[in-house]
Amino acid sequence: MMGQYSEICANSGQETVAVTGEYTANNSTETQTIGEYIGRNAAPGDIVCLIGDLGAGKTTLTQGIGKGLGIRERDVSSPTFSLIAEHRGGRIPLYHFDVYRLGNATDLQDLGFDDYLHDADGLIVIEWANIVMDALPGDCLVIEMIADTLPNLRDLRFTALGDSAARLLKAIL
Ligand SMILES: Nc1ncnc2c1ncn2[C@@H]1O[C@H](COP(=O)(O)OP(=O)(O)OP(=O)(O)O)[C@@H](O)[C@H]1O
Ligand SMILES: [Mg+2]
């Protein structure tokens, strides 16, 4: 992809503490293309945390991720009512969470989230991850999606919080 990334290093000069990146999507197709890169490069156990307002494009990005994994695009939709949708038709499973209706991190545990973490056999994508951030492990790729004054423009800001997430981010940008 043609995005930019930078590595934020600790003072010692060696240890990478976060890898960040940015990409501007001009339309929903470009957002889906970013998702496709994520889907193609994701490894079992990877976690993608999506943060953004209503209509920011979280589900649109997830549809691209599904496509990149080889899952039929139309099968991926908003699991707002079910909270979790499991898609097993692709290269690795996609566990698509939408926690908009959850109050906090404790409710996420009640959904059996720890079992998904423990199995680590697929890619976990969480819409509205900011609501449950306390329950999430340290190594995840956070993607903030920010709408612009132009209706179809979205700023995507990536922060990789651990080694696996950094590997995934470097592969997609
Ligand atoms: N650059 C873009 N990226 C993503 N979606 C875009 C873009 N430009 C326009 N859109 C439109 O914005 C809408 C995004 O809807 P989507 O359901 O993906 O958002 P969401 O963040 O999942 O919302 P919700 O919070 O309700 O779950 C779609 O109708 C999509 O076509
Ligand atoms: Mg959505």
Q: pLDDT digit string (tens) for 120-154? A: 999 999 999 999 988 899 999 999 999 989 999 99
Q: Structurally, how many domains does the chain consist of?
A: 1
Q: Which of 83, 80, 143 lies closest to 112, judged by CA? A: 83
- Cβ–ligand 1 contact at 54 (below 6 Å): yes
- Lookup: tokens for 111: 């959904």
Give the number of the atom of ligand 1 that is nearest the alpha carbon of residue 31. 3
- Lookup: tokens for 142: 């956070």
Q: Is residue 115 part of a domain?
A: yes
Residues 52-93 have pLDDT tens digits of: 999 999 999 999 999 999 998 778 887 666 799 999 999 999
Q: Domain range for residue 76?
A: 26-144+156-161
Nearest CA to ligand 1 atom 17: 59
Q: List the CATH number of the domain containing 94.
A: 3.40.50.300
- Considering every ligand atom shown, identify the ligand nearest to the alpha carbon of residue 130 and give its number: 1
Q: Which of 124, 119, 155, 153 lies closest to 20, judged by CA? A: 155
Q: Is residue 2 part of a domain?
A: no
Q: Is residue 134 part of a domain?
A: yes
Q: Is residue 150 part of a domain?
A: no
Q: Is residue 172 part of a domain?
A: no
pTM value is 0.92
Cα of first residue to Cα of last residue in the chain, in angstroms, is 5
- Cβ–ligand 1 contact at 55 (below 6 Å): yes
Q: Is residue 166 part of a domain?
A: no
Q: Is residue 88 part of a domain?
A: yes
Q: Is residue 39 part of a domain?
A: yes
- Cβ–ligand 1 contact at 58 (below 6 Å): yes
- Cβ–ligand 1 contact at 31 (below 6 Å): yes
To the nearest 10 degrees (0 to 180), the angle between helices 58-69 and 28-41 is: 40
Burial bucket for residue 103 (CB in 10 Å: 0-12, 13-18, 19+):
exposed
At position 47, the amino acid (one-letter code) is I
